[in-house]
A and B are shown apart, each in its own frame.
Chain A
Amino acid sequence: MKKMLSMLLAAILVFSAVGPVLANKFEVTEPITITWWHSHEGQWYPYLEHMVEQFQAANPLIKVEPIFIGTYPEMNTRFIAAMASGDVPAIISVKTEYLPSYGAANMCEILDPYIAADDFDVYDFGEGLVAATSFEDDQIALPYLISTRLMYYNKTAAEAEGIVMPKTFDEMEAFLEKATIFNSDGSTKRYGTIFAGWDHTYFENLYKNNGVEVIREDGTSDLNEEMSVYITTKIKEWVDKGYTYFQHGTSSSSILRSAFWDERAFSVFHTSSLYDTYQTDATFEVGMSWMPGSMDGTKFDATLSGAYILIPSIAPQKQKNAAWQFMKFMVSPEINLYWADQTGYFPTRQTVLALPEYQEYLDRKPAMAEVLSMSGWMADNDPRPYYSACGKEWRMALAKIFSEGAPVQETLDRLVRDIEDIVEDF
């Protein structure tokens, strides 16, 4: 008995000594306030507040102060300045395309130790999203709100007029011919579609799916070669015929939406995250169609977009610990589905599919169900830190061709020179 008692005491002693070591070192043990920089505009505030309230109720030690910074480019500027000054928030939402640059600059906390300590199942997001939020095999962010580029169309008109959305790029011409309506004076009454030209991610896969390499491994580009010239010339031809135009410049996104709602466009290229906005303000049924794929019908990549969340690498450890708790909550299956249901973002976690509310969500949004069946084609952003700058040059070159009538080959040649110079600079 004595022996057993002494063994029991010894065991208690050992565990009491080891206990604190075994406890999660990232746990939050005292009250703390963290700030979260985000880019959610007014219409998202109710969902944002709901999320923060739920989190604070479940985690009474942590108070979250969400701060609206502005658009994602503005957020980017502020984040850079904050890293230079050392005055950073605990958590920050960033545009997907900026993440590789932040990763290369060591601006993000590496999340692997937190993931390991909490046994957090990061692969529940799927391998593609894990890869997209990693940099050189380190997990540096988590997928927060994920959407993709696709086409919205007037489903009511499509059914009435027998218009079928194009599945591949070479089906585009026939589709545009059928969907475009002209006035008696020859001007366009209803555009077949409108290309979104304010961000390269809206059109890059029309090229990439057909084999165009925007930046090759050796830093050169084939944007001025045969296939790219063919696609650009085709789109220019459609622009000249009045089937479509390239929407860019100030307030592009809202102008595009208005054109669609006012039925001045049969379809538009836009982000899936705006599904609810499109549906709410339209007087007709809104359909969604996946981005037209390669001409041979074998590749249907569409760029993944939306926002990731990350913890700045220079934030104090206590802030990081609290931020990690909030981060986990933000991407939890319940919140993931909540955002998906309220907006047009995709449910990104596999476990969401098992939730009883998931089927109800699909029933409410049949158009989303169609698109989700293609979500395996969502393609990661190019991870090279200079890609975004090159994409901007590409967008400006296409704007010159489609809107100002610049010659195709000459403009693309100049674009390639610019791209090669940017790559060299990096």
Chain B
Amino acid sequence: MSIETRVKRAANRPHITKPARIASVVLFIFGIILFVVGSYGYLAGDLNLESLQPIANEVYAARKEARAFETPITGTVGLFGEGRFPVPIALLSIVMNNAIIIALVGITFLFNAVMFRIQSWERMKDLFCVEPALFFFLLFVYYPIVDLVRISFTDMRMLVTDPQKFIGFKNYEWLFLRSGWERFSESLMITFRYTFWEIFITLVGGMLLALLFNRMSKSFNAMRAVVFMPKYIAVSTSAVVFIWILNGNYGILNYILSTFGIKGPNWLVEAKYALTGILFLTGWRVVGYAMMIYLSAMQGIPRDYYEAAAIDGADAVHRFRYITIPMLGPTTLFLFVTTFIASMKVFQSVDVMTGGGPGTATNVMVQWIYNLSFSDFRAARSAAVSVVFFFILLIATAVTMRWSSKSVSYDS
């Protein structure tokens, strides 16, 4: 390495002040302590480590008594067995309740301790601004995912308060090699079918409506607002209204059909029509949103292209095929990916309108996961299905993104 390079590097190296070094050491010490304390709480409370179970049980018993008589938790417990390193049970209870938060704070401290040694104070200030958001992101987004994986290896059941046992791959064995597989594949097919139609309605319906409303008059503005409004109505509320609309005997849809001499089916009760019934609600909700996105994209297409094409003799269909559709590529991709992810996770409308029935006709994946947990109380199996479904979504999204990056042009 030349002297010049060395001098340059030395000049770029941040100047670490003495207070920063002290802060680094303090943060490091506190970080280690908090991380160890948090990990202890996690091992005792969440992981139910066998050697710590007697201690955890003492805490549970003290909590129960305190709650029953509305008194504070009293007494001490030996952290490393009877009489060894006694701490107040109340303190240990707090640690067990907040183990993950304590451990995460510890990790944050350790991270900052390192950063103080390699970053300038100016950069540290930027980092401090980002860290709270990062902390909550880890706590509320990534920790549940990790914990879901943990649960999928246990025998956790919703109503059982006994410590969970780790049972290895038993839940996955049920899912892939035993009766779980039939239900899983059936549910996945229903989910894909639903997704296909939701994407179809979103893209085709949205684009057609956008073409229709692509004018800037006042009346069209009002009509656009009317079409867009369903997006802002709570799914559960609109689902209840749609249950009434789709009622086989008294629903308004069948009434309208009957005026044309058509006898409408019992939409949400007959297995072969139930998913269609749910898709009516879906279409009503999503199509306005897709229209707005397409409209904004259409407004961004330079008029020159159309004028030039018209001069060259292109008719309206050709202009739509060779200018509008390619220019809307990125928008279509955006809608496709977001709709794909959202529709694969559809739950609320299904839960309110059919609860997954009749039979298993609308038992989409999230509904099945929910039913496994809250109706059958089989939380561990539900977690195993969730983990597998998570990976399916991850892979499907990655494949879609990769495929589209090759096929969609962002060059305007």
- Residues in chain A within 8 A of chain B (CB atoms): 73, 76-77, 80, 83, 86, 101-102, 104-107, 247-252, 255, 258, 314-318, 320, 385, 388-389, 392, 396, 399-400, 403-404, 414, 417-418, 420-422, 425-426
Cα-based distance from A145 to B344 in the complex (angstroms):
41
Cα-based distance from A320 to B69 in the complex (angstroms):
10
Q: Nearest Cβ distance between residue A318 and chain B, in whole angstroms? A: 7
B258 at the interface (CB under 8 A from A): no
Of all chain A residues, the one with the shortest Cβ separation from B69 is: A317
**Are B160 and A104 interface neighbours, CB within 8 A?**
yes
B381 at the interface (CB under 8 A from A): yes
Chain B residues near A422: list those with CB within 8 A.
376, 378
Chain A residues near B357: list those with CB within 8 A.
248-250, 396, 399
**Are A105 and B159 interface neighbours, CB within 8 A?**
yes
Of all chain B residues, the one with the shortest Cβ separation from A418 is: B179
Cα-based distance from A86 to B68 in the complex (angstroms):
11
* 8 Å CB contact of A404 from B250, B271, B378: B271
Cα-based distance from A403 to B357 in the complex (angstroms):
12
Chain A residues near B243: list those with CB within 8 A.
250-251
**Are A252 and B269 interface neighbours, CB within 8 A?**
yes
In the complex, how many residue pairs between chain A and chain B have their CB atoms under 8 Å apart? 114
Cα-based distance from A366 to B68 in the complex (angstroms):
47
Cα-based distance from A83 to B160 in the complex (angstroms):
11
Chain B residues near A425: list those with CB within 8 A.
155, 157, 174, 378, 381
B383 at the interface (CB under 8 A from A): no
Cα-based distance from A77 to B178 in the complex (angstroms):
28
The 5 closest A-B pairs by CB, nearest first: A249-B358, A399-B359, A105-B159, A389-B376, A249-B269
Cα-based distance from A417 to B274 in the complex (angstroms):
27
**Are B67 and A314 interface neighbours, CB within 8 A?**
yes
B326 at the interface (CB under 8 A from A): no
Q: Nearest Cβ distance between residue B68 and chain A, in whole angstroms? A: 5
Chain A residues near B248: list those with CB within 8 A.
255
Q: Nearest Cβ distance between residue A201 and chain B, in whole angstroms? A: 15
**Are B249 and A255 interface neighbours, CB within 8 A?**
yes
Cα-based distance from A318 to B67 in the complex (angstroms):
11
**B336-366 vs A, Cβ < 8 Å mask (1 yes, 0 no):** 0000000000000000011101111000000
Chain A residues near B70: list those with CB within 8 A.
316-318
**Interface SS of chain A: helix, strand, loop or mixed?**
helix
**Are A421 and B180 interface neighbours, CB within 8 A?**
yes
B200 at the interface (CB under 8 A from A): no
- Residues in chain B within 8 A of chain A (CB atoms): 64, 67-70, 155, 157-161, 174, 178-180, 182-183, 243, 247-250, 266, 268-272, 274, 353-355, 357-360, 371, 374-378, 381
**Are B378 and A400 interface neighbours, CB within 8 A?**
no
A-B contact pairs, 29 of them (CB 8 A): A80-B158, A107-B159, A248-B359, A249-B266, A249-B274, A250-B268, A250-B358, A252-B269, A315-B68, A385-B377, A389-B375, A389-B377, A389-B378, A392-B376, A396-B360, A399-B358, A400-B271, A403-B270, A403-B271, A404-B271, A404-B272, A404-B359, A414-B182, A417-B178, A417-B179, A418-B183, A422-B378, A425-B157, A425-B174
Of all chain A residues, the one with the shortest Cβ separation from B355 is: A250
Cα-based distance from A233 to B88 in the complex (angstroms):
65
Cα-based distance from A249 to B360 in the complex (angstroms):
10
Given the contacts A403-B359, A425-B174, A255 and B269 also touching, CB distance less than 8 Å: yes
Of all chain A residues, the one with the shortest Cβ separation from B171 is: A425
**Are B68 and A76 interface neighbours, CB within 8 A?**
no
Cα-based distance from A79 to B69 in the complex (angstroms):
21
**Are A80 and B354 interface neighbours, CB within 8 A?**
no
**Are A105 and B160 interface neighbours, CB within 8 A?**
yes
Of all chain A residues, the one with the shortest Cβ separation from B70 is: A316
Cα-based distance from A277 to B266 in the complex (angstroms):
24
Chain B residues near A248: list those with CB within 8 A.
269, 357-359
Cα-based distance from A392 to B376 in the complex (angstroms):
9
Cα-based distance from A422 to B375 in the complex (angstroms):
13
**Are B271 and A250 interface neighbours, CB within 8 A?**
no
Chain B residues near A421: list those with CB within 8 A.
174, 178-180
Given the contacts A250-B353, A421-B178, A314 and B69 also touching, CB distance less than 8 Å: no
**Are B68 and A101 interface neighbours, CB within 8 A?**
no
* 8 Å CB contact of A76 from B266, B270, B360, B374: B374
Cα-based distance from A421 to B279 in the complex (angstroms):
33
**Are A250 and B360 interface neighbours, CB within 8 A?**
no
**Are B374 and A77 interface neighbours, CB within 8 A?**
yes
Chain B residues near A250: list those with CB within 8 A.
243, 268-269, 353-355, 357-358
* 8 Å CB contact of A385 from B159, B180, B269, B274: B159
